[in-house]
């Protein structure tokens, strides 16, 4: 990785990318390859969830339920060969390619070949669904010419999941292309969508080519020449009702004179969230997606940590905190069906996608609301609010509805769920991390009971009751002494396991559930980070993983880093930070998992959640007090 600093601006570039580079403006999101090729331009759709312009092979519906096939398909989405648009140049020296992000969040590339050099920059326009990429081509030898080659289609995102419950119905979409001069228009009537590719260059018009179109750009003579090529790509999808807001500039996080891996990750996470996952869906509302390419769906769990990072990255910047307020309106409005729980995942328009219930995902919306009040000092406008009513009491009514519907079972009123936080079926009904989260949520809502009109819920006593119930129902024998079980049936049966997805267990001391020296917590985390745990992965780059997907999980690294800091284990903390420095991409983002033997990326090249969590650790705000 190389850092280039000029005029007080830093640009970080890398020779080889493990993932594409992404940019967005809260309306639309795009991905680019290591050579600057356009991989995708996508946006939320009010009917079809999420649509995109892409050159990738269509997803074969026969692959659903076949995890290896789904992973292969996802991998192909990262490849330059899946681009819908690229600038081809002759005799390129691939080893000299560089790609990265500048201080303003624009994507940058450097390319070189026999008789030419090329630099490029890409960015999103702030107030429309459009991106611009500008090339500066230096031609130093005769006969050099460039070709813009298009080959792509408009389609609904495949939503190719590993553990799918309710796959989308197949949809056959056809794209037509019409060229007029230097402009290429694409239409997909089935989606009510169109896209436009416009080129400003010294010469050339679009002409038909096999499987697409091309536009040739030739230098004018034998003398060295500088050519400027500007490409604009816009995506026109059905309008969302109620108007939309322009882009929010990502704040720059700086903590100390020597920024390390966590600072790079924190800045990358904030930039990615504001650009590509916290997307405007009209009515002054925003969904927060887990990513913009593989699974543009919303989990309340993933969205919570992204929202919390925004709140603490810029607590006094209203444009940023307003994004969280807009998400809360979406989450409690279109993203919720009154009288029903939040489902595993929801489409950008709020409709449920996977119809499975997870206990922890009923709590994160409550906690996000409490955190918003704690950080900003006020309540956001509720969904449908006319701005002339008692905002706190309106929220109180919604909170009371959800609280009364929580899936409490057994004599101790523990929360039960059919799936655990890894999206896998629960073996026993009660998950430890969900109960710790239950305690934390009650404790964080309790200070605002009077404002919300919720004194009758007795939230502080409930928190005390849950705290005691956890000790009664989860304490068991483990390899390092008495610890807490991963799951319990509340009647003496336990499951010893720990998963990278179960962050609340690791956060228990920061949240005040126990002290960092608590014997039960220390034994639980020692078990989690050992070969006694079926979820642990051994190897040079081994760590906490999950039965859900092979490899070392970056969310597991977050838990190990928390444990290392809590117990004063500097060697462990340094080892985790070194792994993160190796694994994090030049844009600061992280995969879901990486290889325990090499550190190479394994799964989910787009995933906002782990980077958001690392950003929170960098800001050191897990303790809300």
| Three-state helix/strand/coil letters over 490-548 | CCCCEECCCCCCCHHHHHHHHHCCCCCCCHHHHHHHHHHCCCCCCCEECCCCCEECCCC
| pLDDT class of 387 with cuts at 50, 70, 90 | low
Q: Which two tokens stand for residue 566?
A: 């809590």
User: Cα-flanking dihedrals φ and ψ of residue 230, to 5°?
Assistant: -120, 125
| pLDDT class of 257 with cuts at 50, 70, 90 | low
DSSP 103: T
Going 606 to 325 to 103 to 234, the CA torsion angle's sign is: positive
* 106-154: pLDDT as tens digits: 999 999 999 999 999 999 999 999 999 999 999 998 888 899 999 999 9
CA dist 187 and 360 (Å) reads: 42
* 236-250: pLDDT as tens digits: 999 998 877 778 999
Q: Which two tokens stand for residue 368?
A: 């996000």
The arithmetic mean of pLDDT across residues 512-526, rounded, is 99
Q: What is the mean pLDDT of the chain?
A: 94
Residue 385: the pLDDT is 65
Residue 317: the pLDDT is 96
The arithmetic mean of pLDDT across residues 599-605, rounded, is 96
pLDDT at 621 over 70: no
CA dist 27 and 25 (Å) reads: 5
Question: What fold, for 2-236?
Answer: Beta-galactosidase; Chain A, domain 5 (2.70.98)
pTM of structure: 0.96
Residue 219: the pLDDT is 80
| Cβ neighbours for 410, distance < 8 A, ≥ 6 positions apart | 416, 430, 490
| pLDDT class of 258 with cuts at 50, 70, 90 | low
| Cβ neighbours for 347, distance < 8 A, ≥ 6 positions apart | 49, 50, 297, 298, 353
- Is 269:588 a contact under the CB 8 Å cutoff? yes
Among left, alpha and beta (phi > 0; psi -120 to 50; other), residue 410 is left
Going 484 to 486 to 487 to 492, the CA torsion angle's sign is: negative
Q: Report how far Cα 256 is from the mean position of its chain's Cα atoms.
A: 26
Beta strand residue intervals within 210-252, DSSP E: 212-218, 225-236
H or E element in which residue 408 lies: strand 408-409
Residue 7: the pLDDT is 35
Q: Which two tokens stand for residue 34?
A: 């290591």
CA dist 582 and 139 (Å) reads: 36
CA dist 467 and 429 (Å) reads: 18
- Is 568:604 a contact under the CB 8 Å cutoff? no
Residue 308: the pLDDT is 98
* 407-466: pLDDT as tens digits: 999 999 999 999 999 999 999 999 999 999 999 999 999 999 999 999 999 999 999 999
- Is 42:293 a contact under the CB 8 Å cutoff? yes
pLDDT at 528 over 60: yes
Residue 57 to residues 158, 295, 301: CA-CA distances in angstroms?
11, 17, 31
* 363-383: pLDDT as tens digits: 999 999 999 999 999 999 999
User: Whose CA is closest to 326, among 377, 282, 387?
Assistant: 282
pLDDT at 256 over 70: no
Residue 8: the pLDDT is 37
* 318-348: pLDDT as tens digits: 999 999 999 999 999 999 999 999 999 999 9
Q: What percent of the chain has pLDDT over 90?
A: 88
| pLDDT class of 52 with cuts at 50, 70, 90 | very high
* 91-109: pLDDT as tens digits: 999 999 999 999 899 999 9
Residue 5: the pLDDT is 38
Residue 3: the pLDDT is 47
**Residue ranges covered by each domain of the chain:** 2-236, 262-619
Angle at 529 between CA 595 and CA 547, to 5 degrees: 55
Residue 622: the pLDDT is 43
Residue 218: the pLDDT is 84
Question: What fold, for 262-619?
Answer: Glycosyltransferase (1.50.10)
User: Whose CA is closest to 478, among 434, 436, 433, 532?
Assistant: 532
Q: Which two tokens stand for residue 263?
A: 């600072």
């Amino acid at each position: 990785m190389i850092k280039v600093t000029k005029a007080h601006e830093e640009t970080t570039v890398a020779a080889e990318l493990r993932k594409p580079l992404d940019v967005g403006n809260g309306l639309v999101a795009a991905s680019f390859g290591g050579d600057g090729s356009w991989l995708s331009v996508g946006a939320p759709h009010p009917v079809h969830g999420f649509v995109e312009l892409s050159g990738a092979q269509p997803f074969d519906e026969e692959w659903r339920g076949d995890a290896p096939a789904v992973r292969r398909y996802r991998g192909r989405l990262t490849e330059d060969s899946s681009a819908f648009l690229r600038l081809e140049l002759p005799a390129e020296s691939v080893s000299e390619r560089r790609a990265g992000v500048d201080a303003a969040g624009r994507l940058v590339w450097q390319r070189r070949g026999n008789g030419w050099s090329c630099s490029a920059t890409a960015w999103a326009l702030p107030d429309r669904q459009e991106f611009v990429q500008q090339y500066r081509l230096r031609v130093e030898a005769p006969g050099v010419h460039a070709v813009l080659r298009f080959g792509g289609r408009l389609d609904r995102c495949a939503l190719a999941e590993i553990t799918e419950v309710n796959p989308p119905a197949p949809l056959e979409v056809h794209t037509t292309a019409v060229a007029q001069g230097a402009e290429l228009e694409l239409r997909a009537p089935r989606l009510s969508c169109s896209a436009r590719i416009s080129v400003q260059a010294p010469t050339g018009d679009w002409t038909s080519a096999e499987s697409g179109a091309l536009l040739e750009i030739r230098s004018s003579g034998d003398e060295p020449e500088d050519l400027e090529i500007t490409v604009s790509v816009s995506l026109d999808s059905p309008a969302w009702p109620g108007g939309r807001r322009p882009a929010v500039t990502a704040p720059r996080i700086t903590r100390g004179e020597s920024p390390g891996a966590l600072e790079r990750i924190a800045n990358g996470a904030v930039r990615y969230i504001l650009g590509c996952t916290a997307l405007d869906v009209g009515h002054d509302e925003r969904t927060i997606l887990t990513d913009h390419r593989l699974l543009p769906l919303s989990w309340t769990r993933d969205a919570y940590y992204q929202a919390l990072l925004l709140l603490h990255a810029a607590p006094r910047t209203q444009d940023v905190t307003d994004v969280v307020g807009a998400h809360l309106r979406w989450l409690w409005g279109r993203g919720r069906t009154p009288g029903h729980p939040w489902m595993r995942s929801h489409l950008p328009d709020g409709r449920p996608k996977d119809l499975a219930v997870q206990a922890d995902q009923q709590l994160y919306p409550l906690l996000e609301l409490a955190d918003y009040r704690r950080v900003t000092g006020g309540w956001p406008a509720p969904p449908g609010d006319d701005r002339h009513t008692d905002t706190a009491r309106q929220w109180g009514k919604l909170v009371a509805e959800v609280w009364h519907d929580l899936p409490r079972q057994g004599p101790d009123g523990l929360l039960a769920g059919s799936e655990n936080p890894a999206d896998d079926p629960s073996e026993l009904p009660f998950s430890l991390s969900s109960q710790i989260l239950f305690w934390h949520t009650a404790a964080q809502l309790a200070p605002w009971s009077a404002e919300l009109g919720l004194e009758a819920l007795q939230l502080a006593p409930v928190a005390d009751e849950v705290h005691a119930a956890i000790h009664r129902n989860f304490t068991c024998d483990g390899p390092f002494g008495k610890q807490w079980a991963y799951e319990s049936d509340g009647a003496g049966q336990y499951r010893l396991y720990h998963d990278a997805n179960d962050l609340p267990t690791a956060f228990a001391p920061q949240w005040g559930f126990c002290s960092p020296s608590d014997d039960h917590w220390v034994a639980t985390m020692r078990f989690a980070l050992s070969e006694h745990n079926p979820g642990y992965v051994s190897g040079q780059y081994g760590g906490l993983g999950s039965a859900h997907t092979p490899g070392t999980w970056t969310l597991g690294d977050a838990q190990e880093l928390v444990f290392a800091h809590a117990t004063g284990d500097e060697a462990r903390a340094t080892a985790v930070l070194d792994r993160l420095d190796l694994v994090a991409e030049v844009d600061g983002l992280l995969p879901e998992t990486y290889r325990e033997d090499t550190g190479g990326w394994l799964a989910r090249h787009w995933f906002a959640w782990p980077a958001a969590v690392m950003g929170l650790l960098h800001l050191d705000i897990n303790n809300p007090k």
